[in-house]
Amino acid sequence: MTLLSSVTGRLTAAALTLSFAAPVLAQETPQAGGVANVAIQPEPPGLMLPLVQNAPTQRVAGNIFESLLRYSTDLEPMPQLAETWEISDDGLTYTFHLHPDVKWHDGEAFSSADVVFSADVFLRQTNPRTRVILDHVESIEAPDDNTVVFTLKEPFPAFIQAFEVGTMPMVPKHIYEGTDFYNNPANNHPVGTGPFEFAKWDRGSVIELDKNPDYYEDGKPYLDKIYWHVIPDAASRAAAYENGTLDIMPAGSVENFDIPRLSEMDGSCMTESGNEYFNPFAMLWLNNREGPTADKRFRQAVMYAIDRDFAKNVLWNGLGEVPNGPFNSTLASHDDDLEQYPYDPDKAEALLDEMGYDGEPVRLLPLPYGETWTRWGEAVRQNLEDVGINIETESSDVAGWNQKISDWDYDIAFTYLFQYGDPSLGIARTYMSSNIAKGSPWNNVEGYANPKVDELFAKAAVENDSEKRQAMYDEVQQILHDDVPLAWIMELAQPTIYRCNVHDLITTGIGLSDGFKNAWIEQQ
């Protein structure tokens, strides 16, 4: 296809999309009924969200389970199981007033006792990330059936961001109290309060969710059923969308090069929304301990040497953002004035000369997450070789990758991390020296230790005054920007492709992982 015809093709497709969009605007009242067919990739290991935290688990189980709050695409808290809430002025007391008529899927009433059990007992034991957040909590109390009070040890402003369904899902006390959580038979038939109930799971084929007829929000949900189809091969998934078997393709279920083709089909829509809370951030771990990567100038050279715009345009089809520093640009605390590292091979070479880099081989470990990541590894290798860095690519499977990163046995390695809406939840963990520990691929793996950075992150997390907090975050961004503990290569986009007659599919900052409560299908 020539460039010209490709452009006209896109214009025609855009025009078609517009003409399809017109009647949609007229139709604003949700219609009840209909079935959603959604791709799920890969098949989740389990659906008991409070026990299993994989992304595909939450995609499905976000419909079954709920937390106290949801978050808008601007990360503002919105009511869910909690109708209203108050935070005391000193930032120490969080009071939640629960929705009165909530029932578990088995008919039992949901109450504040369930909240206390979930947060204080169940999640403390089963979710390491939630446990770290709950370390800030002094006590959790239930003065009456519909009120829960969290009292903190010190102000922790990010606490209000922690009531997302994957972080703080509510667990039925009457089923789990006093049992072995991991071997409770209910794990195979999860019971929540959400808009959809678990119906059936044919392993390797389809997961079936039914509408919760007693849902406490009037008229919701609108859909009768959701089918989650397990189709491991990317080409078959794309074909299933084209032939109408699937209606909704969540991020990650469509290969990047197929995105233009599928999203430009008649009646096909695409959105990048619903990604704001997790905001996966692609990075290169640079081993700060030994070898050339221990030299700050080498790490800066890496930032100048990598053509990040190329990766964005070619490998990610122009979706995503090139970051200017350690904070994702959608975070409120992001410093927009931070100077961008441009693609400047000459500057990279000058820095390498200055440090006297002698051609010592540097190992590069790409992320074994499929085609795009492999190609990305090749592009980065070429960028680095172009400025005279001697690269040896290593290959491994996911287990091997986990192992090597956890053992710090790497020089440069690809990864991506979730941001969780606040620096103290998603970012500090990567840079604080207290988080250096062998055995996990998700902590301060690069071995960066800077007392000033430690102090700023620690203080900012418990600073209740937003201006003072911002000043600290600005300072920490500047320091990290200059030190380059690791290379920030891309804020990944998470495009969802779906039929345009599906409405209100994504209404929160967690997107599809927050459930299909508001989604409805326009009948022809």
Partner 1 sequence: MSFCKRFAQNRGALVGLVILGLVVLLALLAPFLYPDSPWRMVQRPFLAPGEVSGFWLGTDVMGRDVAAGLAHGAWVSLLIGLISTVVALAIGVPLGALAGYFGGRIDDALMRFTEFFQTIPNFALAIVLVAIMEPSTFSIVLAIAIVSWPPVARLVRGEFLSIKHREYVEAARLVGQTHRDIIIKQILPNTMSPVIVLASLMVATAILLESSLSFLGLGDPDTMSWGYMIGAARTVMRQAWWLSVIPGVAILLTVLALNLVGEGLDDALNPQLARAR
- Contact positions vs partner 1 (CB under 8 A): 1-3, 234-235, 255, 257, 261, 310, 314-315, 366, 371, 374-375, 377-379, 381-382, 385-386, 391-396
CB nearer partner 1, residue 90 or residue 392? 392
Measured in degrees and rounded to the nearest 5, phi and psi for residue 143 equal: -60, -35
φ/ψ of residue 107, rounded to 5: 100, -15
Alpha carbon separation from 62 to 169, 183, 342, 515 (Å, rounded): 9, 21, 39, 5
As measured in angstroms, the least distance from the Cβ of 288 to partner 1 is 24
User: Per residue, what are the HEC states of 97-149?
Assistant: EECCCCECCCCCECCHHHHHHHHHHHHHHHCHHHHHHHCCEEEEEEEECCEEE
Partners of residue 210 on adjacent β-strands:
197, 225
Q: To which residue do tokens 């640009």 refer?
A: 329
346 CB-near residues (< 8 Å, 6+ apart): none
**Least distance in Å: CB of 314 to partner 1?**
5
Q: Shortest gap between Cβ of 246 and partner 1 (angstroms)?
A: 18
C-beta separation of 319 from 493 below 8 A: yes
| Nearest distance, CB of residue 363 and partner 1, angstroms | 11
Rounded least distance, CB 386 to partner 1, Å: 7
Closest separation in Å from C-beta 371 to partner 1: 6
Looking at the Cβ atoms of 265 and 379, the one nearer to partner 1 is 379
Q: How far is the CB of 291 from partner 1 (least distance, A)?
A: 18
For residues 286 and 295, give the distance between their C-alpha atoms in angstroms, rounded to a whole number.
10
Output 3 or 25, the one with its CB closest to partner 1. Answer: 3
For residue 22 the two structure tokens come to: 């017109």
To 10 degrees, the CA torsion angle through 392, 398, 402, 408? Answer: 0
Q: In the bound complex, what is the minimum distance in angstroms from residue 378's beta carbon to partner 1? A: 6
Q: Minimum Å distance from CB 318 to partner 1? A: 12
Nearer to partner 1, 36 or 302 (CB): 302
Compute the least distance from the CB of residue 184 to partner 1, in Å. 38
Q: Which is nearer to partner 1, 8 or 466 (CB)?
A: 8
Query: In 10 A of CB 484, how many CB atoms?
Result: 25
Pick 108 or 394: Cβ nearer partner 1: 394
Angle, CA 52 vertex, CA 47 and CA 57 arms, to 5°: 45
Question: Which residue is associated with the tokens 């221990």?
Answer: 294
Per-residue H/E/C for 43-59:
CCCCCCCCCCCCHHHHH
- Nearer residue to partner 1 within complex by CB, 39 or 428: 39
What does the CA dihedral 169, 114, 197, 248 come to, rounded to 10 degrees?
-20
Closest CB to partner 1 among residues 382, 466: 382
- The DSSP output letter for 442 is S
HEC sequence for 159-212: HHHHCCCCCCCCCCHHHHCCCCHHHCHHHHCCCCCCCEEEEEEECCCEEEEEEC
Closest residue by Cα to residue 48 from 231, 229, 175: 175
Closer Cβ to partner 1, 93 or 374, answer by number:
374
CB of 382 to partner 1, least distance (A): 5
Q: Give the nearer residue to partner 1 in terms of CB position, either 349 or 422.
A: 349
Residue with smaller CB distance to partner 1, 152 or 319 = 319
How far lies 123's CA from each of 50, 126, 270, in Å? 7, 5, 35
